[in-house]
Each structure stands twice: as structure tokens, then as C-alpha cells.
Amino acid sequence: MPVAPLSQKEIEDRLAELPGWSLDGDRLTRSYRLGTHFAATAMVVHIAQVQEELDHHSDLTLGYNTVSLTVHTHSAGGAVTEKDFELARRVAELAHAHGAR
């Protein structure tokens, strides 16, 4: 199903509800810090499960104790859409459960 690009105002309104997330160029982005490498790895696996469920996938980078995501919508020509925010909200929820900061 095609999804429409969000306007700058729509992006800003949604970002206001997502602490720590920001717009970097045409992508939503956020980095999280965890207690250990294993904890960060577990969070990556959890994000992957959600991404498969939503059929929407970020560029996901695992560091020693960090997890970083950037996401935009390929099928909308690389624009930010509601699908990106849907994923960001789900990641924000699970990050809390993982104790990520």
C-alpha cells in the first residue's frame, strides 16, 4: 500500500512525542545506549522482530553497547512517512523495556 510523505510540520509534531528521535536529512534517527554488548544485541533482535511484523525496516547498527537506527520509506522515494513513525514508536516502547537510554 502506498504511503504519503509527511510534511515538515507533520514530522515536527510527531517528533515532539518521541524524545531523543530527530530528523537527519530525510531520515528519522535515534541512538540508544545499553549496559552490555549482549543487552544491545538482544535489543537488535527485538527490533528485527518488530520490523518483520510491520514489514518496515530501518538501517540498524549494533555497536559495543549501542544500537542506532535510521529509517525512511523506500516506497515513498525515501521520504519520511507514517510507517517510519509507527516503527519509531514501537522501538521507543521496546527500548524502555530493555533499559536503553
Q: What residues line the site for ligand H2B (CB under 6 A)?
A: 55-57, 71, 73-75
Q: How far is the CB of 44 from ligand H2B (least distance, A)?
A: 16
Nearest to 64 by CA among 47, 50, 44, 49: 44
Nearer to ligand H2B, 36 or 75 (CB): 75
Tell me the C-alpha distance between 65 and 91, whole Å.
16
Nearer to ligand H2B, 33 or 57 (CB): 57
Nearer to ligand H2B, 35 or 77 (CB): 77
Q: Are 15 and 21 in contact (CB under 8 A)?
A: yes
